[in-house]
């Protein structure tokens, strides 16, 4: 069996590695260089505190890999399990916390609901008077996306994957494309076109992240995946942030921070739900200075770390590939064409499980690691209003 994976980010390389380990002859087509896409522009969060069962399950299966990453890949990725701390300002959000934690606990996640004083014991820099409740899981954390991506790239190459950089896909080939009168209607995907020529394949994997809807269109498929620009600032706080602090999120404002190194912190926030789509080929990759000031001021409102003497050292922007309900699409969309995209900011952490699911779909014809009906694109049938009403996961890190 031959396979082509479109996209050399962590989802694509995880898929390529799992396919190769199951005997598939795999070629990865990456339009740029490894590390120039969305993966290395993420915060690197790894959490099981999600509000939907499917995302909890993706996290749990991925964490099995993250927990053994050093041994399996012979690589350190600075994986720190300092937890995630979500903070609620309203009783409505606090009630939702109770339901979410119950669901997470039923699936083996060690999350718990805390009162503000208990939350302050875990993260001493928050202002407990502004919040009514929190949730925390000590098994959540974050890792270095650069180190993890490079480890996957080395492992894929060692497994025989042909990783081709500077190789954009210009078309997806379907049976009958050369002779539409043969009765096939171009139903099955048979390979891809690149500047270096055609690559025939039994299976093509769309792991193109922010470009996934464009790749799908080449196969005459519509996927509701929109690129959205997100920003991160590296801040020297007025009061150093302990490295033992969790990744902490003021859920209702969208403001968050996590410890970095030497007392610094990564600070971000999603301050609007109606962000316009971004051009994945031409979006600004540098951080907007005005945004960094807004993010820092937002964090200063609910923490004691970010006072007037705090300084923005640097920052960057990256792209989320967002679906209407902020949950990925993982499926065989049409015969021979597997989609693994639309993770809405969760692609880094869910890449290990996704790679296994892609390999199962390609080789076995069905997923067995976990049930993936909730990841089907069929859930988006209906009007734009009905799709928007199905939103379940906020784009938090």
Residue identified by tokens 């015969």 is 335
More confident residue, 232 or 381: 232
Which three-class secondary structure state does DSSP give residue 358?
helix
pLDDT class of 187 with cuts at 50, 70, 90: confident
**Within a 10 A sphere around the Cβ of 261, how many other Cβ atoms?**
9
pLDDT digit string, tens, across residues 51-82: 999 999 999 999 999 999 999 999 999 999 99
Exposed / middle / buried, residue 364 (Cβ in 10 Å: 0-12, 13-18, 19+): exposed
Tokens of 325: 């309900």
**Residue ranges of the alpha helices (H) in 193-276?**
212-218
Asked whether 145 and 151 are in contact (CB, 8 A), the reply is: no
Average pLDDT rounded to a whole number, residues 179-191:
62
| pLDDT given at position 181 | 42
Q: Does residue 147 register a pLDDT over 90?
A: yes
- Alpha carbon distance 397, 42 (integer Å): 8
Asked whether 226 and 215 are in contact (CB, 8 A), the reply is: no
Residues pairing with 3 in the sheet:
26, 203
Q: Does residue 180 register a pLDDT over 80?
A: no
Which three-class secondary structure state does DSSP give residue 293?
helix
The 3 state secondary structure assigned to 91-129 is HHHHHHHHHHHHHHHHCCCCCEEECHHHHHHHCCCECHH
Q: Does residue 390 register a pLDDT over 60?
A: no
pLDDT digit string, tens, across residues 240-284: 999 999 999 999 999 999 999 999 999 999 765 446 678 999 899
Q: Which of 207, 250, 211 is nearest to 397 (CA)?
A: 250
Asked whether 367 and 234 are in contact (CB, 8 A), the reply is: no
**Within a 10 A sphere around the Cβ of 123, how many other Cβ atoms?**
25
- Alpha carbon distance 156, 11 (integer Å): 12
């Amino acid at each position: 069996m031959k396979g082509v994976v479109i996209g050399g980010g962590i989802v694509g390389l995880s898929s390529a590695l799992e396919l190769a380990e199951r005997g598939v002859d795999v070629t990865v087509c990456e339009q740029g260089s490894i590390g120039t896409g969305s993966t290395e522009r993420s915060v690197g969060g790894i959490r099981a505190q999600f509000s939907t069962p499917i995302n909890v399950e993706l996290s749990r299966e991925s964490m099995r890999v993250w927990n053994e990453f050093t041994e399996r890949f012979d690589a350190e990725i600075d994986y720190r399990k300092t937890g995630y701390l979500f903070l609620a300002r309203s009783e409505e959000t606090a009630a939702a916390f109770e339901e979410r934690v119950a669901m997470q606990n039923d699936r083996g996640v060690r999350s718990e609901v805390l009162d503000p004083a208990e939350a302050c014991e875990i993260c001493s820099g928050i202002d407990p008077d502004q919040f009514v409740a929190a949730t925390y899981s000590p098994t959540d954390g974050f890792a270095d996306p650069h180190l993890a991506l490079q480890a996957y790239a080395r492992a894929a190459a060692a497994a025989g994957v042909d990783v081709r950089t500077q190789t954009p896909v210009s078309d997806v080939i379907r049976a009958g494309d050369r002779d539409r009168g043969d009765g096939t209607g171009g139903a099955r995907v048979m390979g891809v076109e690149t500047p270096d020529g055609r690559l025939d394949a039994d299976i093509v994997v769309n792991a193109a992240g922010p470009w996934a809807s464009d790749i799908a269109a080449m196969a005459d498929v519509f996927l509701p995946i929109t690129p959205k620009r997100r920003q991160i600032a590296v801040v020297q706080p007025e009061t150093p942030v302990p490295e033992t602090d969790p990744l902490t999120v003021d859920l209702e404002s969208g403001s968050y921070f996590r410890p970095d190194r030497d007392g610094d912190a990564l600070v971000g926030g999603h301050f609007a739900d109606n962000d316009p789509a971004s051009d994945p080929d031409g979006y600004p990759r540098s951080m907007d200075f005005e945004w960094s000031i807004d993010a820092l001021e937002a964090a200063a409102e609910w923490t004691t770390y970010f006072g007037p003497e705090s300084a923005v050292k640097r920052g960057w922007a990256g792209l989320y590939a967002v679906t209407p309900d902020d949950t990925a699409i993982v499926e065989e969309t049409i015969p021979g064409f597997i989609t693994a995209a639309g993770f809405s900011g969760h692609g880094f952490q869910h890449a290990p499980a996704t790679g296994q699911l892609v390999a199962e779909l390609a080789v076995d014809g069905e997923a067995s690691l976990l049930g993936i009906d909730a990841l089907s694109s069929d859930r988006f049938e209906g009007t734009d209003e009905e799709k928007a009403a199905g939103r379940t996961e906020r784009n938090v890190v």
